[in-house]
Amino acid sequence: MSLLRITEIFYSLQGESNTVGLPTVFIRLTGCPLRCVYCDTAYAFTGGEKIAIDDIIAQAEQYESKYVTVTGGEPLAQPACLELMTKLLDKGYIVSLETSGALDVSEVDRRVVKVMDLKTPSSGEVSRNLYQNIDYLSQKDQLKFVIGNDEDYQWSKAILVEYDLVNRCEILFSPVMGLQNATELADKILKDRLPVRFQLQLHKILWDDAQGK
């Protein structure tokens, strides 16, 4: 039986993406090969508990929500994550995957909504971006740029054009809290008429933490 190392399973409002505000079950996998400067879930890098996939799903079922987000850390660092997502989908859940964009997404079940980062320069991990992952994004997926300063913003605009991203999937621009003033970023998006979704991290506004619990 497949096991996954899990940091936590919890129920909260979705704080990001185009399902923001919807009650969602979060399954946070342990471990990540990246070390982004602004990471707010470093507690998930190590530790956790090995749990069988069927037991993970049983815990998720207790919350009676049709939305499940598989997150981390970096979920795809554990290969059995693919099996977990497919089993959740087969049970009728709407499953989203939060992934860094540094690991191959080609084997992810096509029914999964991928919410994938492209790491900006201020993350310290821009060299880890796996740009071929863009080929596996569809209209239901979302590509997120976490923006910490104007260099990140200009870089993100250039990447939008280079990869024709607005015609591939939904684009999210999110400010790094404490680094990028949210109003300034919103004003830039409007001034430049970018066809992107501006987002704030709802869970941090409501509960001032990374989880939203």
Task: Give tens-digit pLDDT for 67-88.
Answer: 999 999 999 999 999 999 999 9
Omega into 73 within 30° of 0, i.e. cis? yes
pTM: 0.94
* Segment 186-210 mean pLDDT: 88
pLDDT of res. 201: 83
Domains and CATH numbers, the chain: 3-207 (3.20.20.70)
Confidence (pLDDT) at 133:
98
C-alpha 113/C-alpha 127 separation (Å) is: 24
Binning pLDDT at 50, 70 and 90, where does residue 213 land? very low
With a cut of 80, say whether residue 209 has pLDDT above it: no
Q: At 135, is the pLDDT very low, low, confident or very high (cuts 50, 70, 90)?
A: very high
First to last CA, the chain: 30
- For residue 51, pLDDT over 60 is answered with yes
State the average pLDDT over residues 153-166.
Answer: 97
How many Å apart are CA 93 and CA 190, to the nearest integer? 35
Give me the mean pLDDT over the 131-158 stretch.
97
- Is the pLDDT higher at 41 or at 201? 41
pLDDT at 43: 95
Is residue 61 within 8 A of residue 87, CB to CB? The reply is: no
Instruction: Read off the amino acid at residue 136.
Output: Y
pLDDT at residue 208 greater than cutoff 90: no
| pLDDT at position 203 over 80 | no
Average pLDDT score, the chain = 95
Share of the chain above pLDDT 90, in %: 89
Q: How confident is the model at residue 205 (pLDDT cuts 50, 70, 90)?
A: confident
In order of 59, 150, 162, the CA distances from 3 in angstroms are 14, 42, 40
Cβ atoms of 27 and 9 within 8 Å: the answer is: yes
